[in-house]
Amino acid sequence: MSDDEPDLDAAYGLKTPEDSKRLYAAWAKSYDAGFAARMEYCLPERVVQAFVARGPRGPVLDIGAGTGLVGTHLAAAGLGPVDGVDISQEMLDVARVRGVYRRLFTGDMTARLDVADGAYGSIVSSGTFTTGHVGPEALDEVLRVAARGAQIAISVSRAHWEAAGFAAKFEALAGQIAGLELKTVRIYGDKAEGDHANDVGYVAVFGKV
């Protein structure tokens, strides 16, 4: 890793949407071959596995699509059509090259997406709902753009589940969601190194009532 390449500590230190835009603009070109390869970043695959098990239907929205790692696994599973949204245009430019998305567009989950109510039959998100990125309050926006009966899979770091308010938010949404399951998954592979090598996350899978 070069001295000026962003890292996980920088990502977890994000405070504002503008911080996110700056960091991921700088990280976009090296993200897959650098961080994702070095850490054996397996969370996107684990999230898609949990998502597929719930029998999702299209169209699918990939929230925090980044460089398209989730989209690649969705395509391999035969799910689609898939749209992707991310706060970073530079990350989406990398995702576009993969050719697995119907549409890619920028959006800020801490505000309101340029998406109609109930537009998506299913929603998936890996690595976006966490401290410094998108907090639990954005789950309201997820439910707004999800169709009735939509299946949803969202990853949350186990370290942030209670501390960042995700547990409390899911309890508050009890009347709007059904069939909530928390699946524990490793975020990185066996060859990962550093302070975050053994990080574990939850994949929250649930349906919109």
Task: Give the separation between CA 58 and CA 94, rounded to whole angstroms.
Answer: 23
**Please, which residues have CB within 8 angstroms of residue 177's CB and are 6 or more apart in sequence?**
143, 152, 170, 206, 207, 208, 209
Contact 47, 126 (CB under 8 A): yes
Tokens 């505000």 map to which residue?
Answer: 111
- pLDDT value for 190: 96
Kindly list the distances between the CA atom of residue 93 and the CA atoms of 49, 68, 104, 132, in Å, as whole numbers in the listed order.
Answer: 25, 10, 9, 23
Average pLDDT, the chain: 91
8-31: average pLDDT: 71
Looking at per-residue confidence, does 34 or 19 come out higher? Answer: 34
Q: Residue 1: pLDDT band by 50, 70, 90 thresholds?
A: very low
Q: Residue 125: pLDDT band by 50, 70, 90 thresholds?
A: very high
Looking at per-residue confidence, does 57 or 22 come out higher? Answer: 57
SS3 state at 114 = coil
